[in-house]
Structure 1
Amino acid sequence: MTPSLARSLLAPLAAAVLAATMAGAPASAAPAPRADPPAEVVRHSAEESPSESLAYWTEERMAAARPITRVLEGATGGLLPQSPPDASPEGEPRPQSSAVTGKRWTGGGKVAQATGRVFLTMGGRDFTCTASVVPSDNGDTVVTAGHCLKDGTGDWASKWVFVPGYDDGEAPYGRFAARELLVTSQWSRRADDSHDFGAAVLEAREGRHVRQATGAQRIAFTGKGAGTVHAFGYPSRSPYDGRHLYYCSGPTRPDDGGTTAHGMACDMTEGSSGGPWLSGFDPSTGTGTVVSVVSFKYAGRDGVQYGPVLGSSERAVYDRARAL
C-alpha cells in the first residue's frame, strides 16, 4: 500500500493467525500465513462509575454523537472527527456507493436483541459504534472493533455504554455501562489494522446480566476467511442516520491493500464499526456465528467494508474478557 492511499475506517481488521475454535469448543492449531508474536491482551478498567456513564448519555448527547473516522496515509494516524457527509477525509467528493446497499433489518430474532448501539467518549468527543453480545462466563461480554475502545496507541474510550436492540432512540433491553475494556496488543501498541478487535465487559443492571436480557450469538476463531456472511450495524453517516439496525450480505474476499482482513461489498457507513459479521445466519431466528466485526473502508472505495480474521490474538482477548 502506498502512502498516498488513505484509509477511512469503519474500523480495522484482525490477523490471519493460528487457533481455530468456536466459543466453548477446544482450539486446534492451523497454519498461519505469517508469524505473530505471542498473543497478549491490553486491558483498561473504566475510570467512571456505571451510574456516571449512564447519566452522561442524555437523549441530546446520544443524538449528537458522531461515528468514528480514522485516516491513514502510510503511517498510523489518530481518530479524527467525522468528515462532512459529502466529502472524503481529504475534502474530495465521495465516490458513488456500491450497488450493495444496506437494508434495514426488520426480521427480529436474536440479532435484533443481541446487537446494539454503542456510545462512547474519546479525546473529548462523543462517538457511536456497534457491538454484539457473545457467550461468556460472566454473562456481560460484548465484542466490537478495537478502535471503538481505544484510539490505537492513544487514548482509551470513556463513558462506554451499550444499548442492545437500540431502535430509534428506544432501549428495549436497557442500557449497560462497561467496567472493563480489552483490545489486542497489536492494536494497542501499533494500531495494526489486521487486529482491530476488542471486547467490553459490562456492569450488570440491578443484578441482571446483558446475556439474560438479550441472549448471545456464537463466536468462532478459525484464523481463516469469513466466507459468506451477513454483516450488521448502525451506520450513522449519510445516507444513514444511526436510528435503526441495517445489514448487508454476501461473500468475502482477502484484502489486497496490505492487511490480513477480508472485505465484502456493502455501502454501510461509519457507525456500523464493530458490528458483527455472522456466518451461517438463519433469518428465521436471527442467529449465526460471529466470525469478524466491521472494521474499515479504504478512501475512494466506499462500496467495500473490511473486517479482521479472528485468530489467536482475538481469541485471547475474548477468553480474558469472558472470565472477568
Structure 2
Amino acid sequence: MNKKYILCIFVVLITITNSSYASPAYSKLMSKRVTSIPMSITFKTPSKIGANNTAKILDDDNNLNAVGKLDIVKNDGSSDCCTASVIRTDNGNIAMTAAHCLYDFNTQTWNSEAYFYPGYNNGQEGPVGKVTVKDGYILVEFTENPITYDFAFIKLDYPDGKKLQDDTGAFDYDLDIPRDNYPVNVFGYPIDGDMDCAKDGQHLCEYEGLSFDMPPDVPNPQSYRAITIDVGQCSSGGPWVRIFNPDTKTGNVMGVSHVLW
C-alpha cells in the first residue's frame, strides 16, 4: 500500500479515549469507510523553525524525537497543549495528533495557530526547535462525532528540500489493528491524569502496558480497545505505539490519545 495516500486511507487507526469515560480508559476504532471526506486548513502564521505496566520520564539525553509537544493558539487567543508524533511518509513532514487539537468541536471553528516541538523534554525544545504547523487535516465526520473521528494530520513547515523525519526519526503506522491483548507504549506531556511522572506539561512521559479488547457487555466491543489509566490532559494526540523498540525508537502507531476536558 502506497503511503503517499495517507490522508485518504488512514481511517482505520484507532482513537484512544481516556477521560471522556470512566477508568479504565477506552479506545474506539475509526471508520473504515472510504467515503470519509477530509477537511483541511492552511494556518496563516509565519514559519518559525529552530535548528510490565510502568510509567516513566524519558531520560533527558535519550529523547524520543519523533514525539513532540504541540502548542495551540485558539481563536479567542487562549493557549492549549497537545502531543503529536512524526509518521513515516513520502513527504517526510507529516505528523499526527488529535482532531480536537486543531478544530474546536464546540464552536465548530479551526484553531488559529499550532507549533510543534519534536523531541521536547524537560523544558527543552528538542533538536530542531519550534516548527510551524502549515496545514491541518481532519475528517468532516469529526464535526458530528468528536470521539470516533478524533484524529488528525499536520503538515509541517520545514525548509524546502528537507524532511523532518530525517532529523527526528519517525514511526511507521498500522492499517490493520490486531485484536486480543498485546503491549503498547503511550507517550504524552500530561499535566494531570494517572501517569507516574512529573505531569507538568514539560516532560515527555511514557506508559508501557497491555492494551486489550473491551468486554462483551460494552456496545460494539469489537470497535474498542483500552488501557487501565487516564494519560492526562495535554497527552491528547500522543501516539499509541505497537512493537516499540526503545533502542531504535521505532514502532507502529496504531492510534492517538483522545483526552477531552
Normalising by the residue count of structure 2, what TM-score does the alignment of the two structures yield? 0.75
Structure-1 separation of matches of 2:64 and 2:144? 34
Residue in structure 1 matched with residue 109 of structure 2 by the alignment: 155
> What SS does structure 1 have at the residue aligned with 2:103?
coil
Alignment equivalent of 2:29, drawn from 3, 10, 15: 15
- Whether contact under 8 Å (2:177, 2:254) holds in the other structure is no
Residue 48 (1) aligns with residue 2 (2): no
- Whether contact under 8 Å (1:231, 1:275) holds in the other structure is yes
Residue in structure 2 matched with residue 320 of structure 1 by the alignment: none
Displacement of 1:174 in angstroms is: 1.8
Q: 1:16 to 1:156 in 2, by over 3 A?
A: closer
Displacement of 1:17 in angstroms is: 3.8
Alignment equivalent of 1:199, drawn from 139, 147, 153: 153
* AA matched with 2:166: Q
- Whether contact under 8 Å (2:45, 2:132) holds in the other structure is no
Structure-2 separation of matches of 1:196 and 1:49? 27
Structure-1 separation of matches of 2:34 and 2:101? 23
Displacement of 1:8 in angstroms is: 6.8
Q: 1:14 to 1:268 in 2, by over 3 A?
A: closer
* AA matched with 1:148: C
Structure-2 separation of matches of 1:130 and 1:240? 13
> What SS does structure 2 have at the residue aligned with 1:38?
coil
Residue in structure 1 matched with residue 73 of structure 2 by the alignment: 121
Residue correspondence of structure 1 range 96-135 to structure 2 within 5 A: 102-106=55-59, 112-124=64-76, 125-135=78-88
Structure-2 separation of matches of 1:8 and 1:122? 25
Q: 1:72-114 CA distances to partner (integer Å, 9 max, x unpaired)?
A: xxxxxxxxxxxxxxxxxxxxxxxxxxxx6632122966x7111
> Percent identity at matched positions?
26
Q: Which has the larger radius of gyration?
A: 1
Structure-2 separation of matches of 1:144 and 1:106? 23
Residue 165 (1) aligns with residue 124 (2): no
Aligned residues: 227
Structure 1 spans left out of the alignment, 5+ residues:
1-5, 19-35, 56-99, 300-324
* AA matched with 1:204: Y
Give the aligned CA root-mean-square deviation in angstroms.
3.1
Q: After alignment, is 221-230 or 141-150 more displaced?
A: 221-230
Residue in structure 2 matched with residue 252 of structure 1 by the alignment: 211
Q: 1:191 to 1:145 in 2, by over 3 A?
A: same
Q: 1:223 to 1:101 in 2, by over 3 A?
A: closer
- Whether contact under 8 Å (1:119, 1:126) holds in the other structure is yes
Structure-2 separation of matches of 1:264 and 1:257? 17
Structure-1 separation of matches of 2:74 and 2:99? 13
Structure-2 separation of matches of 1:267 and 1:8? 9
Alignment equivalent of 1:136, drawn from 89, 98, 102: 89
Residue correspondence of structure 1 range 269-288 to structure 2 within 5 A: 269-288=232-251
Normalising by the residue count of structure 1, what TM-score does the alignment of the two structures yield? 0.62
